[in-house]
Amino acid sequence: MHLTDEQQAILSGSQGETMAKVMKTLVMYGDAFEAEEMVAVTSEYNHLVTSFGLGVMAPVYDLMQQLIDAGVMSQQKFSVDPRPLDKNVPKNLLQNLIFNKFMYNKQDFYEGQLKKLGLLHEDAFTCACYMDEVGNKPKKGDILSWAESSAVVYANSVLGARCNRNSGIVDLMGSIVGFVPKFGLLTDEGRKASWIVKIETSKKPEAQLLGSAIGMKVMEDVPYVVGLDKWLGSELTDEACTYLKDFGAATASNGAVGLYHIENLTPEAVESGKELIKSDAKVYVIDDKELKRVKDNYPVIWKDRDAKPKLCFMGCPHMSLQQLKDWTDRVEAGLKAAGNKKVQIPTVFTAPPAVLEEFNKTDYAKRLKETGVITSYICPLMYMNNPLCGKMPVITSSNKLRTYTSARYYTDDEILLQITKGGKN
Ligand code: F3S
Could you give the 3-state DSSP secondary structure of residue 2?
strand
Single pTM value for the model: 0.97
Given a cut of 50, the residues of the chain with pLDDT beneath it are 425
Residue 169 has a pLDDT of 95
Residue 386 has a pLDDT of 80
Q: Which residue's alpha carbon is nearest to atom 4 within ligand 1? A: 127
- In angstroms, what is the span from residue 176 Cα to ligand 1's centroid? 24
Long-range contacts of 155-160 (CB under 8 A, 24+ apart): 155/130, 156/185, 156/191, 156/258, 156/259, 157/244, 157/248, 157/259, 157/260, 157/261, 157/262, 157/266, 158/236, 158/241, 158/244, 158/245, 158/248, 158/266, 158/267, 159/130, 159/267, 160/266, 160/267, 160/268
Residue type, 192: K
Mutational test site, ligand 1, from 154, 242, 400, max ligand atoms within 8 Å of CB: 400
Task: Tell which residue, 19, 1, 2, 18, has the closest CA to residue 10.
Answer: 19
Q: Which residue's alpha carbon is nearest to atom 2 within ligand 1? A: 379
Rounded Cα distance, 191 and 261, in Å: 9
Q: Which residue's alpha carbon is nearest to atom 7 within ligand 1? A: 381
- In angstroms, what is the span from residue 378 Cα to ligand 1's centroid? 8
Nearest 10 degrees: Cα torsion 245, 281, 143, 184: 120
Residue 91 has a pLDDT of 79
CB-neighbour burial class of residue 193 (10 A; exposed 0-12, middle 13-18, buried 19+) = buried
Residue 75 has a pLDDT of 82
Query: How crowded is residue 144: how many other Cβ atoms within 10 Å of its Cβ?
Result: 29
Does the C-beta of 400 come closer than 6 Å to ligand 1? yes
422: CB partners within 8 A, 6+ apart: 308, 338, 340, 344, 345
Residue 425 has a pLDDT of 45
Does the C-beta of 312 come closer than 6 Å to ligand 1? no
Mutational test site, ligand 1, from 379, 384, 402, max ligand atoms within 8 Å of CB: 379
Residue 282 has a pLDDT of 98
Q: Which domains does the chain have, with CATH numbers?
A: 5-186 (3.30.499), 190-296 (no CATH), 311-421 (3.30.499.10)
- The CA-CA-CA angle for residues 328, 331, 334, to 5°, reads 145
Mutational test site, ligand 1, from 81, 83, 242, 389, max ligand atoms within 8 Å of CB: 81
Does the C-beta of 324 come closer than 6 Å to ligand 1? no
Does the C-beta of 244 come closer than 6 Å to ligand 1? no
Does the C-beta of 316 come closer than 6 Å to ligand 1? yes
Rounded Cα distance, 171 and 160, in Å: 19
CA-based torsion, 234, 252, 282, 289: positive or negative: negative
Give the CA distances from residue 288 to residues 202, 208, 229, 283, in Å, rounded to whole numbers and listed in that order: 7, 14, 17, 17
Residue 423 has a pLDDT of 65
Does the C-beta of 249 come closer than 6 Å to ligand 1? yes
Does the C-beta of 48 come closer than 6 Å to ligand 1? no
- In angstroms, what is the span from residue 412 Cα to ligand 1's centroid? 17
Give the CA distances from residue 198 to residues 158, 214, 224, 317, in Å, rounded to whole numbers and listed in that order: 19, 10, 9, 25
Residue 18 has a pLDDT of 97
344: CB partners within 8 A, 6+ apart: 418, 419, 420, 421, 422, 423
Residue 353 has a pLDDT of 98
CB 224 within 8 A of CB 195: yes
